[in-house]
Amino acid sequence: MALMSGIDGPESPAVRKRRVVRILRQLDRDYPQAECALRHSSAWELLAATILSAQCTDQRVNQVTPDLFAAYPSVEALAGARVEHLEELVRTTGFFRNKAKSLKGCAQRIVDHYGGQVPSRMEQLLTLPGVARKTANVVTGTWFGKATGVVVDTHVQRISQRLGLTEEKDPKKIERDLMKLLPRTRWVPYSHQIIHHGRRVCKARRPQCDACGLAELCPSASQER
């Protein structure tokens, strides 16, 4: 992968490493308290909210989950829910039929195979309906505090590309690039910080490069100005 500095041509591994260190320091300064934006009080609530967040904003999910968890306050309760009722509760998150089916199937498997407790291991989480690697990374990193990978949502994908940390377009390949570049201790906080940065500054259509603390470290900043 030949990452570009945007000005001086190909970036050597040593220069890239120093730039990554500076990016992480700036993110710490700008977003010292960044955390998962999905409101939750248990591993199950986080898992369910993350399933609902596919192709949907966290803000919308946070508007939907209070009623969902009030109606079904435990994984056992949701496992016994009627899919039609779940569909009504999650309708505004989009793709509501698939999401309702995934939520019920996920809850049923957790009850049947894991004693009603959300598993903490990546390979176990990936056996749950509606759970792919991104969702599993959210749960292992945010709830269980285990850095199993890097959450690659649309913000992380877009901004990591703009920062020249990856040239890949497939989320799995982007995650592999980031896992090689970032210290393992930063896999979880990097995603939280970048997501906040994407919402506040580095927006998809109109990135605010003049107000960005990462501008001097970003190959794309001069192109956007």
Domain borders along the chain are 13-30+149-224, 43-143
pLDDT at 5: 41
pLDDT at 101: 98
Asked if residues 156 and 11 have their Cβ atoms less than 8 Å apart, the reply is no
Q: Which stretches of 63-176 are assigned E, i.e. beta strand?
A: none
pLDDT at 7: 44
Residue with tokens 């960005």: 212
Q: Is 95 left (phi over 0), alpha (psi -120 to 50) or beta?
A: left
Give the residue numbers marked as catalytic.
Answer: 134, 153
What residues have CB less than 8 Å from 42, skipping those under 6 apart? 118
What phi, psi does 195 have (nearest 5°)?
A: -65, -45
Q: What is the mean pLDDT of residues 110-132?
A: 98
**pLDDT tens string 146-200:** 999 999 999 999 999 999 999 999 999 999 999 999 999 999 999 999 999 999 9
What residues have CB less than 8 Å from 113, skipping those under 6 apart? 127
Asked if residues 3 and 11 have their Cβ atoms less than 8 Å apart, the reply is yes
122-133 b/e with 16+ CB inside 10 Å = b?
A: bebbeebbbbeb
Question: Does the 43-143 domain belong in CATH 3.40.50.300?
Answer: no
Looking at the chain, the whole-number percentage of residues with pLDDT higher than 70 is 94
**Which of 58, 74, 27, 70 is closest to 186 using CA atoms?**
27
13-30+149-224, CATH topology level: Endonuclease Iii, domain 2 (1.10.1670)
Q: Sorting pLDDT into bands at 50, 70 and 90, what band is 122?
A: very high
pLDDT at 11: 86
